[in-house]
Amino acid sequence: MSRSVRVLCAVLTALAIAAAMAGPAASVSADQTARTPANAQRVALIGASGNVGSRVLAELVSRGHTVTGIVRNPEAIQAGPRVAAAKGDVNEPAALARILAGHDAVISAAPFRNIQDPDALIGAVRASGVKRYIVVGGAASLLNADGVRLIDTPALANFRTSPEPAGGVRFLDALRTVTDLDWTFFSPAVMFAPGERTGTFRLGGDTVVTDAQGQSRVSMEDYAIALVDELETPRHIRQRFTVGY
């Protein structure tokens, strides 16, 4: 394994967990509610108050979509003309399905460590009648240049049962058996943190995307752009894809 990939693997677990944790949320400013595109959608966003979810929420609103932010604590969501908050739990599938019903798409940004049963959450989406389902994935299931999953490399041997990376792998495995939903699993880069919204990045498939220095990195803001691009123009139906600089 190359030195660059060893470095990536060494930081994978800590970054994946930090990225999924709730933290300073991205705000939705007034000027982000100005556009109403012809393809505006009603989106149910699970985990809308977390680090990633809040940035996806801001990107959705800035591009004219209407969002129901589904969180355990609705007061964490600032309601607005295109934003409503709803109380929901990924481990209460029957109640969650009722909240999801009537939307055009579901996006899940819930931390995998909080999801007791991937099939239950997938079942809630199925029961809601919503076909389009995008999951904020993890990087542990990405392949390195040798075709080995990062979580299966020696550098991550101690983390194979850690709730966040192992949960992401388990969730992707469950999704890959699903044929009746238009799902997409979107893995971030290994180095994944709040940063600049540049609008410049590269997409990949199952293999980690690295830059000229061998680093796999992307800001949460640019990740949110790529995710909403996929929502508006689906290119990875029943596939996993990834992003990096």
pLDDT digits (tens, 9 = 90+) for 51-64: 999 999 999 999 99
pLDDT at position 10 = 42
Tell me what percent of the residues of the chain surpass a pLDDT of 90.
80
| Cα–Cα distances in angstroms (integers) from residue 186 to residues 6, 80, 108, 206, in the given order | 22, 27, 10, 10
Task: Assess whether pLDDT exceeds 80 at residue 29.
Answer: no
pLDDT at position 26 = 52
Task: Assess whether pLDDT exceeds 90 at residue 46.
Answer: yes
Contact of 133 with 108, CB cutoff 8 Å: yes
Task: Assess whether pLDDT exceeds 80 at residue 20.
Answer: no
Confidence of residue 37 (pLDDT cuts 50, 70, 90): low
Nearest-5° angle of CA 133, CA 134, CA 137?
140
pLDDT at position 19 = 40
Dihedrals φ, ψ of 140, to 5°?
-60, -30
Query: Is-above-0.75 flag for pTM?
Result: yes
Distance CA 70, CA 74 (A): 7
Instruction: Write out the H or E segment, with its range, that includes residue 60.
Output: helix 51-62
pLDDT at position 121 = 98
* 152-158, long-range: CB < 8 A, 24+ apart: 153/1, 153/5, 153/6, 153/9, 154/1, 155/1, 155/6, 155/9, 155/10, 156/9, 156/12, 156/13
Task: Assess whether pLDDT exceeds 90 at residue 214.
Answer: yes
For every residue of 188-218, DSSP letters joined together read: --SEEES-------EEESSBPP--TTS--EE
Instruction: Write out the H or E segment, with its range, that includes residue 140.
Output: none
Could you give the domains of the chain?
3-244 (3.40.50.720)
